[in-house]
Amino acid sequence: MFIPIGFEQHSVVTSLGTMVYYSGAEELWRRSPENEGEPSSKDSVSLPSLVFLHGFGGGSSAYEWSKVYPAFAADYRILAPDLIGWGRSDHPERNYQVDDYIQTIIEFLEKTGDRPTTVIASSLTAAITIRAAIARPELFKSLILTTPAGLSDFGEDYRNNFFAQIVKTPILDRFFYNVGITNPSGIRRFLEIRQFANPSRIYEEIVAAYLESAKQPNGEYAALSFVRGDLCFDLSLYMPDLTIPTAIIWGRQSQFTSPEIGQRLAKLNPTAVKVFQQLDDVGLTPQLELPGLTIGLIRKFLKLFSAAENPA
């Protein structure tokens, strides 16, 4: 799905199927020009990894982070997967549950790394990543999360939303997916309503990338599981158990998930949550809406974590 120049497609096999991911091309990022053919001091085996996990929604995929992760490829081994059910990864026919993604995120980290990893994740996936980090803390070095909400937090349950109730109706669910997601106007409207604070920041490549992902065979299974609320949970019940250093970015205009919810979640565990950064005039995906700002904040948080890990 619209792989950035300088990146290549790879894959690993998980218990739910093959997961595709994108990583920097060795010849571009890991070799020094003056010593062509010889490993540089930043060969991929010695570089720390950054894993970028996309959120859920109509046509979601690793494209969501594609304007951000190339900025880190010279200093990190980039791993940006399409989660199971999305993008170019396998789309098994199933009603997806939270445990499916906790399991496959853990499996992905186990199969692609040999040391604790910094994971950067978005929205509901970010909330699920918190649960993965609680279950297997030895796999995680730090977390940088945009709008990590379980969508049922503190009793404010997304599943009570009128649209979520409608999509629970058999036949109607496929109808809404086909009419509302698998066409350019439906994708654009979804992005305008759900993900962006400023619709003028949506350009044709974004629409085309989301549409390509949405039209993959069986693409409706994961998307409808999300829209129905099958993947929702109350993150506040888990936040106190998080031990991994975490930074949170929260767009002021995120749909269904106000910054007040984010601040309440952060206050449940001030030991782990080192930073809570609110952004005005931003929606659910600052990584697409304001990628330059998102890159700067990620760099800032990586330095913060590094300084705390290695004090002078």
CA-to-CA separations, 142 to 115, 118, 157, in angstroms, rounded:
12, 5, 28
Determine the structural domain holding residue 287 and report its residue range.
Answer: 8-306
Residue 119 has pLDDT above 90, yes or no: yes
Contact 282, 250 (CB under 8 A): no
What tokens does 140 get?
């995680």
Given CA atoms 278, 254, 302, 296 in this order, what sign does their dihedral have? Answer: negative
Query: Is 311 domain-assigned?
Result: no
Query: Is 209 domain-assigned?
Result: yes
Contact 105, 99 (CB under 8 A): no
User: For the domain that residue 289 is a member of, what is the CATH number?
Assistant: 3.40.50.1820
In the chain, the number of structural domains is: 1
Radius of gyration from C-alpha coordinates of the chain: 19
pLDDT in tens, 144-164: 999 999 999 998 765 566 555
The overall longest dimension of the chain from CA atoms, in Å, is 62
pLDDT in tens, 220-252: 999 989 988 899 999 999 999 999 999 999 999
- State the CB neighbour count (10 A cutoff) for residue 204: 9
Q: Say which DSSP state 215 is in.
A: T
Would you state the pLDDT for residue 84? 98
pLDDT in tens, 153-204: 998 765 566 555 555 555 556 656 766 677 898 899 889 988 999 999 999 9
Query: Is 287 domain-assigned?
Result: yes
Would you state the pLDDT for residue 140? 98
Query: Is 1 domain-assigned?
Result: no
Q: Say which DSSP state 232 is in.
A: -
Query: Is 312 domain-assigned?
Result: no
What tokens does 210 get?
């989301």
